[in-house]
Amino acid sequence: MQRNRRTPVASLALTALAWALLAPATNAQVAGPPDPDPTPPPIHAPGGRYAAKGWADRIVLSPAADAARGAAVAWRTDTRQPTAEAQIAPEIDGPLLGYAAATVTGQSTPLENENGSAIYHQVRFNDLEPATRYVYRVRAADGWSEWLPFRTASATAEPFRIIYLGDTQNDILEIASRVIRSAFKEAGPAAVVLHAGDLVAQRETKVHDDEWGEWTEAGGRAFAMTPQIPASGNHEYVDHILPDGEESRRLGPHWPLQFALPGNGSAAAPETTYFVDYQGVRFIILDGTAALDLGALVSQTEWLDQVLASSPARWNIAVFHQPLFTCARPNDTEVLKAAWKPIFDARGIDLVLQGHDHCYARVSDPAGAAASQDSSDAGRPQGPVYVVSVAGSKMYGLNDRADIQPVRAAENTELYQLIDVAADRLSFRAFTATGRLYDAFVLVKAEDGRNRLIESSEEDLVAIRRCAGEQGPDARPCTAEIKD
């Protein structure tokens, strides 16, 4: 039986965070003299490389809330294709894929940006059969895309593999693409991909539309054939000046167009929060930026409690950007910790996957449970496990808690994670960009819903990766910035 998933506990968290809501969500804009050394303008890829054309690009597949019976696809075309049109059919062994295809229409939205005019399209495939292979294709002015295969989830709990990626953000195509592609290569038949936010940098070195072009190019058709489950980060938001002159932020225009998400999330953050049920796992996607800066904390906290309380899944995994336990910043994210950690504890969530800190850390026993003394070959009793990871080039140095708070940490290291789900165990492995095993553990779930954690042997893992002054762990200079 499951642990205490139905007793309301959101009020515990809301009481702890009430003081935080008294602070204003924005800072006043202060006028001053012009910057004598202004930031250079963002780089724009030459030759119209990322401009919309007559064929479909940026094709991204997403799961429905019930991934056994639905999926959705988003893609981009030039303005000559004004309507969203896709075809879907059961996959067969022969070439006549379109013989029994059904045509499905959806919604289309124009977008003006640095690369000119484009139209984003979204189509939802409903009433699909569980555990079934399908093919689909999408339309553009110059013709159909290739047929792209995918598989719906089983209607019951079955083993499957997850890819989890931290921030890609900067140098996406140059650097982060290697990690994304290595993850797919090593994962084999991965069922879904989790992204912990800051998929793009936005507001930094490259124009925004080019960054989304790089992100979808880095994943290529793998993003179109494997359902993507993204969480938004602070860099998915753009700066916004309110009528009274105060600085705020709003969700960037690409996010709701690039991902056709389930739309079953918190009322205060409907475009960036949602949950997906996939083959015995409930994935719960939260938006830390909206919670911290845009007044969506209470709504998300209540929604989180309800979604966990009603979860039919044996395993529950939360994904969001700003980590509760930080590996680079001076302080943990106390507002989110006060709101969400009591719910994670009370509802017995299994994994909490995060990004934002541009380092790696696993906090496996944050409460310092006395039960950790009760260890055996079967593992020690275990509450939620918190992980922070990074896939891209931007690196932060570890904070002064790195030697005491996490079980294992790393800096100046790009990683991808593979998570294998089975009925009674969840196996987590973190790999460096070159495919070396950096961290690993197994959660074993008993009949009462409680977990025990079995650590991997240190002999199976590569050495701890830390900078030594200006020297990085790869016989190269340390690039990790200090995060104030």
Predicted confidence (pLDDT) per residue in 297-337, tens digit? 999 999 999 999 999 999 999 999 999 999 999 999 999 99
Asked if 143 and 209 sit in the same domain, the reply is no
Domain assignment present for residue 158? The answer is yes
Choose one of 151, 181, 198: the last residue of a domain. 151
Domain assignment present for residue 471? The answer is no
Choose one of 124, 151, 178: the last residue of a domain. 151
Asked if 17 and 67 sit in the same domain, the reply is no
Domain assignment present for residue 53? The answer is no
Asked if 79 and 211 sit in the same domain, the reply is no
Asked if 111 and 123 sit in the same domain, the reply is yes
Which residues on neighbouring strands pair with residue 454, listed in sequence order? Answer: 442
**pLDDT interval class at 484 (50, 70, 90):** confident
Asked if 222 and 358 sit in the same domain, the reply is yes
Choose one of 151, 176, 206: the last residue of a domain. 151
435 Rama class: left (phi>0) / alpha (psi -120 to 50) / beta: left
Asked if 63 and 198 sit in the same domain, the reply is no
pLDDT of residue 20: 43
**pLDDT interval class at 8 (50, 70, 90):** low
SS3 label, residue 224: helix
Domain assignment present for residue 35? The answer is no
Domain assignment present for residue 115? The answer is yes
How many Cβ atoms sit within 10 Å of the Cβ of residue 457?
A: 7
Asked if 384 and 369 sit in the same domain, the reply is yes
* 355 and 318 Cβ atoms separated by less than 8 Å: no
User: CA 422, CA 160: separation in Å to the nearest integer?
Assistant: 7
Domain assignment present for residue 425? The answer is yes
SS3 label, residue 109: strand
**Domain of residue 141, CATH code:** 2.60.40.380
Task: Determine the average pLDDT of the residues in 188-199.
Answer: 96
Residue closest to 439 by CA, chosen among 390, 387, 381, 401: 387
Asked if 62 and 179 sit in the same domain, the reply is no
Length of the chain, please? 484
User: CA 111, CA 119: separation in Å to the nearest integer?
Assistant: 6
* 271 and 237 Cβ atoms separated by less than 8 Å: no
CA angle 191, 257, 41 (to 5 degrees): 110
**Domain of residue 159, CATH code:** 3.60.21.10
Torsion, Cα of 336, 2, 272, 246 (10° steps): -20
Asked if 381 and 288 sit in the same domain, the reply is yes
Total structural domains within the chain: 2
Asked if 414 and 445 sit in the same domain, the reply is yes
Q: Which residue has the higher pLDDT, 30 or 261?
A: 261
Which one-letter amino acid corresponds to residue 336? L
User: CA 2, CA 157: separation in Å to the nearest integer?
Assistant: 15
Identify the domain containing residue 72 by its residue range: 58-151
Asked if 424 and 320 sit in the same domain, the reply is yes
User: CA 454, CA 129: separation in Å to the nearest integer?
Assistant: 37
Asked if 263 and 115 sit in the same domain, the reply is no
For the chain, how long is the longest CA-to-CA vector? 69
**pLDDT interval class at 30 (50, 70, 90):** very low
* 137 and 144 Cβ atoms separated by less than 8 Å: yes
Domain assignment present for residue 468? The answer is no
